[in-house]
Chain A
Amino acid sequence: MPELPSQVALESDAYVPGAAVAGVGAGVQGIAGRLPASGLVSKKGGIGITFWICAGWVLFMILLAVLASVLPLKAPNFQDYSSVNIGPSARHLLGTDDLGRDLLARVIFGSRVSLVIGFAPVLIGLVVGGMAGLLAGYRSGPADTVLNAVSFVLLAFPALLAIMVIETFWKPVTLLKLTIMFAFVSAPLLFRVIRATTLSFASREFVVAARATGAKTSRLLLRELLPNVLPAAVSFALIGVAIAIVLEGSLAYLGLSIGLPTSSLGNIINDGVNSNNLSLNPYIALWPSLYIFLLLTALNLMADRLRSYFDLREVSL
């Protein structure tokens, strides 16, 4: 039954999809992770071409951002007053903004902030939260209870609000500070996912059998449990990346992310909306919006395919 909501597997003690997570983690903006998988899977039973197209697209976007300073792009902050607000043309592929800055360069350089804030904290969260979740799920005990309570409390906070407020009192905003704050959001989320998944595997026969043959804890965790937990972890991590990108974008839109003159997708959109720009030159807001839309779509689709794929396999076992 492909429509089986995947939370059932993750929050194994809850029957109603979404119910168990309604209170937990709702503080984190972003919904994809707590929804049933769409159930759209390729008919042949593989993970599907969509997944690989999306993965290629995300990789392409990352490469663009990494190689931005090597690529033949204009300087993102260079103001060319002889060509203000011109549309897409041969000289400026995506046009220029109200200060004559090249929009292609601004979007690609701006994507660096989104991508760093999207991936770095989630990777940190995956390592820290993942290891804690694996251990806590395998060895339930007082440490598990404490970690669980801490993650519960951290997730009860509305993330955007907390970050906004901390920023007010912890100036100036830097990439490092944002990464740290975002890691505090992603680690407990991934901890819960990985802990719940580990729990559902910890008492399975193959784990018990491995233990009976005298396998060490490290082997049990890394060779028996980790490979089984990884699909859910990666799928949630992808959604975590999407959540982080939306959060950073919202902050940047509100002028509360990395400060100017560093361009970021959110503050370019803000630029494009302010002072009549939307009616004079909608391209300023359009391109970064399109970039974010395509990036998020790719991430969401990848996560969905992963979940559908692995849920199906689980059912057929």
Chain B
Amino acid sequence: MLRFIATRLVQLVVICFLISVFAFLLVHLLPGDPTLAILGPNDTPAARAVLLHQLGLNKGLVSQYGTWIMNIFHGNLGASFLTKQTVTNALGVAVPIDLELVVVSQVLALLVAIPMALIAALRPNRLFDRIATTSTFAMLSLPTFVAGPLLVLVFAVTLKWVPATGFDRLSQGLGQNLKSVILPSVALAIGSVTVYYRLLRADLIATLQEDFVTMARSKGLSTRYILMRHVMRPSSFSLLAGAGISIGTLFTGAFVVEVLFQLPGIGYQLVQAIYSRDYLVVQGMALVAAVAFVVVNFGVDFLLTILDPRVRRA
């Protein structure tokens, strides 16, 4: 067990290191002197000298990396050369929005997927199961950039229930806040519903064939009791694994959703930085997003290992 965790941790550190090297080298892939690209219109000899010193570009590559990574460990991810805002500040604005999107969308997805899977698994291959399984195919084939505009068209443009774009902070009232995140969350949830539904359904069907379920049935326990008490728990590991699978989808989806609905999360800010060629912001944000992504993934893996001993033997 300990050894397993240790191996995983080493992998995690190695991957994070590689991500940082990759992010570091990006700026050096720019043709010519990176200061030219970074400064753009603000290019003056004095500014260049300052920047060269700031970036430590007059030293060797390895020592440059050392300085850069030490700065990051001290919370200095660089700053935008356009707005002068530090990347750390920008992240402070963005991260709560991303977290809210993830939480609301996943809660929505689970609220839909769990009852659907329960009903489908009780009578596999019957009418409800067929309809539900087929509709998850449809949901699987609705990428966020298709589902998002569709939702806007129906609920914002035609029905005018919610605003099409913009973000209202929680401080502007819970109702306002929820109104501005509900469509993006639904757009994100669509992909996750399929994940949760399919995994839970397959697991439930397998668990329902176990002897202990037959035993419980023959004792005369009600179906509801059996499902909640005996079946749900051993069938829910996959849900957790599903969360891990979902992360990739959520990640890509969140970028599209934030741009479509103009929510200033990490995706939106990163894309804006890419448009305006704000290289240091791109570098800093990409680094944080990639590391967060990898860490969350490994976190899910850890949790699974602790909860389910069967994984450990792998």
Give, as a whole number of angstroms, the nearest-CB distance from B279 to chain A: 7
Interchain CB contact under 8 A, B246 and A31: yes
Interchain CB contact under 8 A, B255 and A254: yes
- CB closest chain-A residue, reference B145: A253
CB of B143 within 8 Å of the partner chain: yes
Interchain CB contact under 8 A, B241 and A156: no
- CB closest chain-B residue, reference A285: B149
CB of A79 within 8 Å of the partner chain: no
Interchain CB contact under 8 A, B245 and A21: yes
Q: Which residues of A contact B19 (CB under 8 A)?
A: 157
A39 to B134: give the CA distance in the assembly, Å: 11
A159 to B260: give the CA distance in the assembly, Å: 20
- CB closest chain-A residue, reference B275: A255
By DSSP majority rule, is chain B's interface helix, strand, loop, or mixed? helix
Q: Which residues of A contact B264 (CB under 8 A)?
A: none
Interchain CB contact under 8 A, B143 and A292: yes
Q: Which residues of B contact A282 (CB under 8 A)?
A: 153, 157
By DSSP majority rule, is chain A's interface helix, strand, loop, or mixed? helix
Q: Which residues of A contact B237 (CB under 8 A)?
A: 16, 19
A15-B311, A272-B149, A278-B149 as given contacts; A170 in contact with B247, CB under 8 Å: no
Q: Which residues of B contact A21 (CB under 8 A)?
A: 241, 244-245
CB of B265 within 8 Å of the partner chain: no
Interchain CB contact under 8 A, A31 and B286: no
Interchain CB contact under 8 A, A168 and B274: yes
Interface 0/1 of B116-152, CB less than 8 Å to A: 0000000011000010011011101111111001101
A40-B130, A254-B256, A254-B271 as given contacts; A17 in contact with B297, CB under 8 Å: no
Interface 0/1 of B228-259, CB less than 8 Å to A: 00000000011001111111110111011001
CB of B174 within 8 Å of the partner chain: no
Interchain CB contact under 8 A, B297 and A26: yes
Q: Which residues of B contact A296 (CB under 8 A)?
A: 140-143
CB of A34 within 8 Å of the partner chain: yes
Interchain CB contact under 8 A, A31 and B248: yes
Interface 0/1 of A154-174, CB less than 8 Å to B: 001111111011111110000
Of residues 290 through 314 on chain A, the ones whose CB sits less than 8 Å from some CB of chain B are 292-294, 296-297, 300-301, 304
CB of A23 within 8 Å of the partner chain: yes
Interchain CB contact under 8 A, B304 and A19: yes
Interface 0/1 of B253-281, CB less than 8 Å to A: 10110011000000000110011010100
Interchain CB contact under 8 A, A169 and B30: yes
Would you list 11 pairs from A and B whose C-beta atoms are within 8 A, ordered by A residue? Answer: A23-B300, A29-B248, A29-B253, A36-B201, A161-B251, A161-B289, A168-B26, A269-B145, A293-B141, A293-B146, A297-B140
Closest 7 CB pairs of A and B: A22-B244, A18-B241, A296-B141, A36-B202, A29-B252, A253-B145, A297-B141
Residues of B bordering A, CB below 8 Å: 11, 14-15, 18-19, 22-23, 26-27, 29-30, 124-125, 130, 133-134, 136-138, 140-146, 149-150, 152-153, 157, 164, 191, 194-195, 198-199, 201-203, 205-206, 209, 237-238, 241-249, 251-253, 255-256, 259-260, 270-271, 274-275, 277, 279, 282-283, 286, 289-290, 293-294, 297-298, 300-301, 304, 308, 310-311, 313-314
